[in-house]
Amino acid sequence: MASLSERLEFAQQYRQERVHYEPRMRPLVNDDLFCTSLPGEVYDRELEALKLQELSFSHMNVLSTAEIRTCIRSAEREGLVDDLKSRILDAVRSESRALDTLDEVEALGEVYLTSVNGNPVGSINNLVPVTWNASDIYGMPEVRGRYFLEAPRIDIYAPLPRVSAVVSTLCVAGVLPWPLQTYGHEKLHALQYNVFRGEAVPELFEAQAHRTSMDERGTQSHDLLVKDLVDSPAYEDLDPKKFDAAIWVIDRLNALGLSQKKAISVIKQPGNWNGFGCWDGLEDFIRAEMKRREINSEDLERELMAYNLKRTIETHKARLAACFVMYLEFRDIIDLRRRVDSRLRRGDEEQYTGEAAVQRVAV
Ligand SMILES: [Zn+2]
């Protein structure tokens, strides 16, 4: 486990690398909005967030992956998986905000409301039916799911994850299995196109969907996300310059604390693309919000750093909450396993480093 000072150093480096904006692309007239230099110090809020992160790290490793696997096997044998999943989801929701976004787009509850004993079902939503384990008519192996505007419908190119997989990924990493994250992404597209009136800008829609449900830990850097998408044949229609600006906008709307639905209503009124690196209406909106909150562009960058750190922390808190439910349910099995493991470890140490080893060498 790295020390706090090492983590602070890492955070400084991370911040330098995590360039969320490209000053060279911004017109000079907008220098009141676009921060052109990174804040040089670690600020109080970040320190506060880092301390919280440190605290959650220190409580980590509640259960090892092997222990989690043992517990899940027991739960399956005893028919407890569904009940365990419900209790874990309740705990994750009450102890963390890790599922807030997926809950906002109603991507999770309905899946398992209509799943019978964890078995996948084909169509689960009257507004936008979803097909799990769909066959990809475009044959693009890197694409995990698709939203079809004309139908409208969602195809996910994987089966609905088993309930035990949901329990497992929450305990191991504080996240949901990737098909459910993909479902959240596509469901957000369904909301973008169907629920609010206005202009549909694919770059803005894609940026929002990627930031909200494919990147739980908030660790994918701006530059990497732009590169990943513009290099992919699946996104060849996206304008790289507009997508770059779209990530910039979405990150700041998130940092300002907008709900996903509010953000959709904002990005559907983008105004004109100014040709330099943003949309007039979105610049005006962000500037007006900054004025209302009496913050400048540097404060906004700090808000964004704090937002990203908090996302990481919420994921850790989710993992901790899930592990705790699991531990309470299977305490006997886990404690027994640990006693056996520590006895075995002690045996190993004695054999290779203790008296026994010395005696053997002597013989
Ligand atoms: Zn998408």
Query: Residue 292 pLDDT > 80, yes or no?
Result: yes
Check residue 92 and give its pLDDT.
93
Q: In angstroms, what is the span from residue 201 Cα to ligand 1's centroid?
A: 12
Q: Write the pLDDT tens digit of every residue in 214-234.
A: 665 556 777 778 887 878 888
Task: Give the integer Cα–Cα distance in Å for 242 and 240.
Answer: 5
Q: Ion ligand 1 — residues with CB under 5 Å? A: 206, 209
Q: Do the beta carbons of residue 329 and residue 84 sit within 8 Å? A: yes
Q: Write the pLDDT tens digit of every residue in 8-59.
A: 555 555 444 433 333 333 333 444 555 544 444 445 666 666 666 666 665 5
Question: Which is more confidently placed, 9 or 114?
Answer: 9
Q: In angstroms, what is the span from residue 182 Cα to ligand 1's centroid?
A: 9
Q: For residue 95, count other CB atoms closer than 10 A to its CB.
A: 16
Check residue 114 and give its pLDDT.
46
Q: In angstroms, what is the span from residue 147 Cα to ligand 1's centroid?
A: 8
Q: Write the pLDDT tens digit of every residue in 327-357.
A: 999 999 998 888 887 777 776 656 555 554 4
Which token pair is 324? 């705790």
Q: In angstroms, what is the span from residue 148 Cα to ligand 1's centroid?
A: 11
Check residue 27 and give its pLDDT.
37
Based on the number of CB atoms within 10 Å of its own CB, is 247 exposed (0-12), middle (13-18) or buried (19 or more)?
Answer: buried
Q: Is residue 131 classed as helix, strand or coil in its secondary structure? A: strand
Average pLDDT in the chain: 77
Check residue 358 and give its pLDDT.
45
pTM of the predicted protein model? 0.78
Question: Quick one: DSSP state of residue 161?
Answer: P
Check residue 296 and give its pLDDT.
84
Torsion sign across C-alpha atoms 179, 184, 189, 190:
positive
Check residue 7 and give its pLDDT.
53
Residue 149's pLDDT band (boundaries 50, 70, 90)? confident
Which token pair is 74? 């027991």
Q: In angstroms, what is the span from residue 206 Cα to ligand 1's centroid?
A: 5
Question: Which is more confidently placed, 181 or 60?
Answer: 181
If you average pLDDT over residues 265-277, what whole number do you get? 89
Bridge-based pairing of strands 130-132 and 145-148 is unpaired
Q: In angstroms, what is the span from residue 185 Cα to ligand 1's centroid?
A: 6
Q: Write the pLDDT tens digit of every residue in 164-210.
A: 999 999 999 899 998 888 988 998 898 898 877 888 999 999 999 99
